Structure 1
Amino acid sequence: MESAYNSKKNPLSESEASSISPIIEAFLKHKVDRYQRNKKPRYNPTIEVETESHCIVIPVSKPEKSGFKEETKSRISDSSSNSLLYNTNIAPLYSEKEVNARIKEATDNLRQEFIKSTKKILKTIKQKKDIECNQIRIDMRNLFKFRLKKFIRDGTIYSLIHDLEKKDGRLYPDISRFKGL
Structure 2
Amino acid sequence: MTQRAMKFNKAYSSLINKLPPSLVCEAWSRIISRKRNPMTEEEASSINPLVESFLRHEVNRYQKKLKYQRKSWPLLKNSLYDTDMPDQETQTQDTAPIYTCEHEEEIDCRVKKELDSLSRQLLEFNEKTFDPFIQEITKRLEEQDSVNNKLHSENDQQKLKLHKAEKLLASLSINK
TM-score normalised by the shorter chain: which range applies?
0.3 to 0.5
- Considering Cα pairs closer than 8 Å and 6+ residues apart, tell me whether 1 or 2 has the greater RCO: 2
Normalised to the residue count of structure 2, the TM-score between the two structures is 0.36
- Which structure has the larger Rg? 1
Going by fraction, where is helix more abundant, 1 or 2? 2
The structure with the greater share of residues assigned to strand is 1
